[in-house]
Amino acid sequence: MKKQLYLFSFILAMALGYSLQGFSQGGLFETKEPLHIELEFSVKQLKAETDDSTFISSQMIFESSPGQKDTLEIEIRTRGNFRLDNCYYPPMRVKMKKKDVENTVFQGDRSLKLVLPCSKAKTADNFLGKEYLAYQLYEDITEYTFRTRVLRVKFINSDDKKGETVELLGFFIEDDDEVADRFDGEILDDKKIIPTLMEDTATVRHDFFQLMIGNTDWSGLFQHNEKVLKLDDKTIVPLAYDFDMTGLVNPPYAQVNNNIGIERVTDRLYRGFCRDPQLMQAIRAEILAKESRIFETVEKNKVYFSEPDEKACRNYLKDFFDILKSDGMFEQKVLNACRTNTASQTF
């Protein structure tokens, strides 16, 4: 009987341990389970009164343990460019005080980027969900990524006289400095790094990923939607982010650069620079071997978008793998399409 009680207690303890994963100290990015938060602020005030250095004060209620809530004092500001000008919910940065986050899920991650849907449309969550999926797919391709945590957000816009609560999908993105600390490296801000000087393998993986999701809205040289991580004196790798303007997500506001030769955001164009063909073939084989894993990631995250969007994502990714599986298409769309002259990079 004692042995049975001991075994039951052990199993219960293990089950509780797993169920509490992500609520413990420093565990914000240790789970893929949604974190439930509540926010209230004025969207008009946020847009009118904040910038890169000016914040407004607010509060965030979050699920500190199953069924339990806690409140944090936070500061928020706008960030970004295109979505700031074109979206109802602007991209934000959230800051918390070190003493306030001790022994909470935010310990060690008190500065975060917050992404909410662009518009108030009922379908807006679908595009946000597909953007979150892109971050998860990036983790399948390379270790050099910004970690993310999906959110279920209850939001009250204090501009609304009725004070109605809207429920939104969102996600937190890891801060630049925290990524650098994870890899014992350094983010090189505001420095033009010639892409061909970056570490070959990590860069080709990055470039293949951008082709996979249909992203042309990035630049390694000008650090547009991309950070540069210095690992040591000889090793620099790309850190991509901001995947909304892609063929995979395909939001209503998507635009393409008229100078790069494609008409729609869903058109694929390889924008990586040419590397050793043997290396490019090796990365091709490496990603082909991950095909089932890629589609498993879609399966795990399909709850965040509609069935038609899931089907569109699967078809879009299938087209990418069709390129990799065909020697002719791979030669045409990758090996012969890679860029040879850094000076020709317009962005």
Asked if pLDDT for residue 2 goes beyond 80, the answer is: no
Q: Would you state the pLDDT for residue 342?
A: 56
Mean pLDDT score, 291-312: 98
| Residues 120-159: tens digit of each pLDDT | 999 999 999 999 999 999 999 999 999 999 999 999 999 9
pTM comes to: 0.91
From the list 287, 28, 339, the residue with the least C-alpha distance to 142 is 287
Confidence of residue 24 (pLDDT cuts 50, 70, 90): very low
Confidence of residue 3 (pLDDT cuts 50, 70, 90): very low
**Distance of alpha carbon 198 from alpha carbon 175, whole angstroms:** 22
Where do the DSSP E strands lie in the chain? 35-41, 56-65, 68-78, 92-95, 111-115, 148-157, 165-173, 186-187, 226-232, 235-240
**Distance of alpha carbon 324 from alpha carbon 85, whole angstroms:** 37
Confidence of residue 346 (pLDDT cuts 50, 70, 90): low
Confidence of residue 19 (pLDDT cuts 50, 70, 90): very low
Asked if pLDDT for residue 25 goes beyond 60, the answer is: no
Question: What is the rounded average pLDDT for all residues in the chain?
Answer: 91
Q: Would you state the pLDDT for residue 13?
A: 42
Asked if pLDDT for residue 14 goes beyond 70, the answer is: no
Give the residue extent of every domain in the chain: 35-115+145-177, 184-344
Mean pLDDT score, 89-114: 96
Confidence of residue 191 (pLDDT cuts 50, 70, 90): confident
Q: Would you state the pLDDT for residue 220?
A: 84
Asked if pLDDT for residue 343 goes beyond 70, the answer is: no
- If one compares 308 and 19, the residue with the highest pLDDT of the two is 308
In order, the DSSP letters of 159-186 are T-TT--EEEEEEEEE--HHHHHHHTT-E
Asked if pLDDT for residue 4 goes beyond 60, the answer is: no
**Distance of alpha carbon 290 from alpha carbon 98, whole angstroms:** 40
Residues sharing a CB contact under 8 Å with residue 283, sequence separation 6 or more, in sequence order: 201, 204, 205, 208
**Distance of alpha carbon 79 from alpha carbon 91, whole angstroms:** 6
Using CA atoms of 141, 235, 30, 245 in order, give the dihedral in degrees to the nearest 10: -50
| Residues 238-287: tens digit of each pLDDT | 999 999 999 999 999 999 987 888 999 999 999 999 999 999 999 999 99
Confidence of residue 345 (pLDDT cuts 50, 70, 90): low
**Distance of alpha carbon 295 from alpha carbon 291, whole angstroms:** 7
**Distance of alpha carbon 242 from alpha carbon 225, whole angstroms:** 6
Mean pLDDT check: name the lowest of 17-21, 68-72, 175-179, 273-277. Answer: 17-21
